[in-house]
Amino acid sequence: MPKEFIPTEDIKKSSPEEAKSKEQQSQSQPQTLSLEGVKHKIMIMSGKGGVGKSTIAAFLASSLSKRGYRVGLLDSDIHGPSIPKMFGLENKKPEIDEKGIVPIPVSKNLKIMSIAFLLEGEDFPVIWRGPAKMSAIKQFLQEVSWGVLDFLIIDLPPGTGDEPLSIAQLIPEFDGAIVITTPQDVALTSVRKSINFLDLVNVPVLGLVENMSGVICPSCGDEIEVFGGGGVEKAASDFGISVLAELPIEPQVSQKADTGATYTYEGNESEWDKRFSNVVDTIEKLENNTKNDGN
């Protein structure tokens, strides 16, 4: 990470104790980020890791941008730049201009930013823990100049622990969250945890996406349910939330994610794509509703 990339010198110079006391001061008056030009903020979260959050966040952002919306995608997972990798941009370093940290453009309507850009460089003091780290992250997020966006999609770190909680609390006024789950989680403990989490941070649930729900047979198109189906629908109805999509395992999806190929899925006639478009429609409606309200 280039030197100028640590947003302010005073945070960099402060000891963990000082940063901690700063954090405590700021906790007395709730402080959130200013994202004035952003119309809709959507969180992608899950009660456990590896279920496809980043993949779905990337496809959603990409699809919305292809529908003509101005979209930002924020990778708030501090353990590695997974979103930049998906777009083949992990070696890019964001620049700083007079307005702040400039998100990295993917296409005309899509730009990305990753917290990992802040944490990766040699300059980052690895001794930072907990509150000190959070205050650096907060400062970083505050200084990203997103400009005017129709949608900001935020990929949260996995789980419902302190880290996703702190990050969720930094961002004001989410429109809602999409909860990702897999069918392996028979008891859907992680869905329950996710819903409690969202309650705590006061973010409405927009719906549940079951990812890797089965396999579509390439020759006859039948779906093979690898883990036995129905659990997610039952959980959704227990919690009174809707299932936005049951997405099959699709080799092309992981190939794209791993090679950093541009996300051009939407418009294909694959089953995955057809089902995924309901997720995109659901988010697009948030904007149409605002228009209809005359806002």
Ligand X SMILES: Nc1ncnc2c1ncn2[C@@H]1O[C@H](COP(=O)(O)OP(=O)(O)OP(=O)(O)O)[C@@H](O)[C@H]1O
The residues that touch ligand X, with contacts defined as CB under 6 A, are: 46, 49-55, 77, 82, 158, 211-212, 247, 249-250, 253-254, 257
Task: Mention every residue, 6+ apart, whose C-beta is less than 8 A from residue 127.
Answer: 16
- Cα-trace Rg, the chain: 19
Task: Mention every residue, 6+ apart, whose C-beta is less than 8 A from residue 228.
Answer: 183
Using CB under 5 A as the criterion, what x/- string covers residues 12-51 for binding Mg ion? Answer: ----------------------------------------
Residue with tokens 């880290």, as numbered in its chain: 163
Is residue 55 within the footprint of Mg ion (CB under 5 A)? no
The only residue of 54, 135, 182, 190 in contact with Mg ion, by rule CB under 5 A:
54
Cβ nearer to Mg ion, comparing 53 with 256: 53
Using CB under 5 A as the criterion, what x/- string covers residues 78-107 for binding Mg ion? Answer: ----x-------------------------
Minimum distance, C-beta of residue 254 to ligand X, in the bound complex (Å): 3
Decide: 116 and 75 in contact? Cβ < 8 Å: yes
Minimum distance, C-beta of residue 86 to Mg ion, in the bound complex (Å): 9
| DSSP string for 122-174 | TTS-TT--HHHHHHHHHHHHHTB---SEEEEEEEPPSSSSHHHHHHHHHS---
Decide: 191 and 185 in contact? Cβ < 8 Å: yes
Chain positions 198 to 237 lying near Zn ion, rule: CB under 5 A, are: 217, 219-220, 222
Cβ nearer to ligand X, comparing 56 with 104: 56
**Choosing among ligand X, Mg ion, Zn ion, none, which partner's interface includes residue 220 (Cβ < 5 to 8 Å by kind)?**
Zn ion
d(CA 97, CA 57): 27
Is residue 127 within the footprint of Zn ion (CB under 5 A)? no
Decide: 164 and 52 in contact? Cβ < 8 Å: no
By CB under 5 A, name the binding residues for Zn ion.
217, 219-220, 222
